[in-house]
Amino acid sequence: MSKRFNIHPGGSLKGVIRVPGDKSMSHRSVIFGALAEGITHVSGLLEGEDVLATIAAFRAMGVNIEGPDDGRLVVHGVGLKGLQKPQHDLDMGNSGTAMRLLSGLLCGQNFSSRLVGDKSLSERPMRRVVDPLTEMGAKISTAVGGTPPLQIDPVSGLHAIDYKMPMASAQVKSCLLLAALYAQGKTCVTEPAPTRDHTERMLRGFDYPVYSDGDRVCLEPGFHLAATDMTVPGDISSAAFFIVGASISKASRIEIINVGVNPTRTGILLVLNQMGADIELKNERVIGGEPVADLVVQSAPLHGIHIDERHVPLAIDEFPAILVAAACATGETVLSGAEELRVKESDRIAVMARGLSDIGVDVSETSDGMRVQGGQIRGGAVDSHGDHRIAMAFAMAGLVSDADIQIDDCDNVATSFPDFHSLAKSCGLHITVTDI
C-alpha cells in the first residue's frame, strides 16, 4: 500500500501556523547530545522518520534517549568515547544526512559498523564522504558504484586533512568535522560556496571550539562537548510549501511562527522576493545560536527570473517548491548550476520536469537545471518517486490548477513533515489522502 494525495483545485491559504522542527538541527541535536558529557534536553525536535532513524542508531550504540514526546527529547550523553558497538546494521532509512554524518563519526570508533538505507538512499552517492575519510586513514567501503551500504572498520587512528570540497555540501563538511573530533591534528574543510552551518553553530553551543574563516572551517580534537539545552526552530524547508502556496493562490495570508532563518538556509526568500513575492519577517530573534523569525506571506503576482547560481546552495532543498512557484509566474524562470539536485532523495531535476509537464507546464530540462515557462496549471497525475518534498510541492500546485492533481508515492512525506496533510487542509488546501 502507498499513500496518494488528491488535490481538488482552488482555495487559498489562511491562518497562523507552526511547521515541524528543523530536520538538519534535529539530527545534529541527537548526535551532539549523544556525544556530550551530561544530559541534553531538546525541544522542538522534528519527530519525522529521518530523525527517528538517527535516534534508533544511537540507542543501538548504547545511548539512553527518552522520548520523543511532543518534540521533547532527553539525551543522556556518553561522551566522545562512550559509544558501544551496535549489534545490528544501522538503518538510516531515507536519510542522506544521517548516513553521511554518522559515517564520519563511526570512522573514529574502535568498533565495526554497517550503515544501510532504503531504496532511494541505497542509490545515493557516498564516495563524496568515503574519499576524504579514506584520506584521513579510515577504513570504509561502499557497494559497487559508490553507494550504500557503508562498511566501516576500526583503525588505530585517524589523521587530520586539509580538504577542499569539490561540491557545496553541508553533509560532507559535517561528516569530516565529526571525524575530525577523533583525528590527530587540525582538520580544515574549505567549501566552494556557503552551505548550512548548523554543525559549526551547534558544536559551539556544546562548548566545542570551531574556527571559521570565510569559506574555511577547522576543528581540533582534545576537547569535550558539554551537554546543553537545545531549542529547535521550525524548518524553513517545510515552511517553503506554505510560503509558495500562499504566494501563488488568490486572497491568501499565512503567518508561520518560529521559523529558522539562518542565512545559509534562506535562499528561498531571496529567490521568491526577486520573483515579486510578498514575504515579511517579523520578531527576528536568536534562539540557541540560530536566527528565528515569524514569516507573514501574502498572495502576490510572481514573475520569472534567472535564478542567481549563488543562491542555489542556500535554497537547495526548496527547489521543488520554487519550481512550482515558477510554473505560476509570468514569463520564464531559468535554473542553472543546480546539478546537486540530481542526487537528492530523487533526481529532482528529472522528476520535477516530468511532473510539471504532466500537469500541463511547459518545461525543458538541462543538465544542471531547467527552464520553466509560467502559465496556467492544467492538473493531472504526478509520480513523486517517493520524494517527500516533490509530493508536498505538487500538492500546493493544486491551489491554482484547473483540474484535480493526483500525486502518487507520498508515504515519505512522513520523513520530514508527518502532519503535512492535516496542517495544509486546516489552512485551506483541498487535500485528501487515500491508501492505494
β partners of residue 38: 77
Q: Which is nearer to ligand S3P, 169 or 346 (CB)?
A: 169
Q: Shortest Cβ distance from residue 169 to ligand S3P (Å)? A: 4
Stretch that binds ligand S3P, among 169-177, 181-189, 240-248, 253-261 (CB under 6 A): 169-177
Beta bridge mates, 54: none
Which residue has cell 549563488? 310
Instruction: Tell me how far CA of residue 379 lies from CA of 254, 361, 421, in angstroms.
Output: 24, 9, 19
317 is catalytic: yes
Residue 171 in the binding site for ligand S3P (CB under 6 A): yes
Q: According to the binding rule CB under 6 A, does residue 24 interact with ligand S3P?
A: yes
Smallest distance, Å, CB 255 to ligand S3P?
25
Rounded to whole angstroms, the Cα distance separating 216 from 36 reads: 25
Is residue 169 a contact point for ligand S3P (CB under 6 A)?
Answer: yes
Stretch that binds ligand S3P, among 114-122, 167-175, 226-234, 327-335 (CB under 6 A): 167-175
Question: Measured from the CB of residue 164, what is the shortest distance to ligand S3P in angstroms?
Answer: 16
DSSP one-letter code for 123 = G
**Interface segment toward ligand S3P; rule CB under 6 A; list 75-83, 163-171, 183-191, 245-253:** 163-171
- The smaller minimum CB distance to ligand S3P, of residues 77 and 96, is found at 96
Cell of 305: 527570473
Contacts of 377 (CB under 8 A, 6+ apart): 327, 328, 359, 360, 361, 397, 400, 401, 402, 405
Stretch that binds ligand S3P, among 150-158, 165-173, 331-339, 425-433 (CB under 6 A): 165-173
Decide if residue 195 touches ligand S3P (CB under 6 A): yes
State which residue has the least CB distance to ligand S3P: 24
Beta bridge partners of 407: 5, 382
- Four-residue CA torsion sign, 77, 80, 81, 83: positive
Closer to ligand S3P by Cβ: residue 320 or 379: 320
Place of cell 483541498: 430
- Give the shortest CB-188-to-ligand S3P separation in angstroms: 18
**Quick one: 254 or 259, whose CB is closer to ligand S3P?**
259
- Binding-site string for ligand S3P from residue 311 to residue 340, where x marks contact by CB under 6 A and - marks none: -----xx----------------------x
> Where do we find the cell 524562470?
333
Alpha-helix residue ranges (DSSP H) falling in 107-197: 127-135, 170-180
Q: Name the grid cell of 361.
A: 507546464
| Count of other CB atoms within 10 angstroms of residue 278 | 17
User: Around 221, how many Cα atoms within 13 Å sit in the side-chain half-sphere?
Assistant: 18
Specify the stretch interacting with ligand S3P by CB under 6 A; choose among 149-157, 166-174, 260-268, 396-404.
166-174
The residue with cell 580538504 is 163
120 binds ligand S3P (CB under 6 A): no
Selecting among 235, 317, 383, 409, the annotated active-site residue is: 317
Closest distance to ligand S3P from the beta carbon of 113 (Å): 20
How buried is residue 307: exposed, middle or buried, by Cβ count under 10 Å (0-12/13-18/19+)? Answer: buried
Contact letters (x/-) for ligand S3P, 74-103, by CB under 6 A?
Answer: -----------------------x------
Q: With contacts defined by CB under 6 A, how many residues of the chain interact with ligand S3P?
A: 11
Residue 75's H or E segment, with its range, is: strand 72-78
Q: Which is nearer to ligand S3P, 317 or 387 (CB)?
A: 317
Cell of 429: 488546501
Which residues are catalytically annotated?
Answer: 317
Could you list the residues that contact ligand S3P (CB under 6 A)?
A: 24, 97, 169-171, 174, 195-196, 316-317, 340
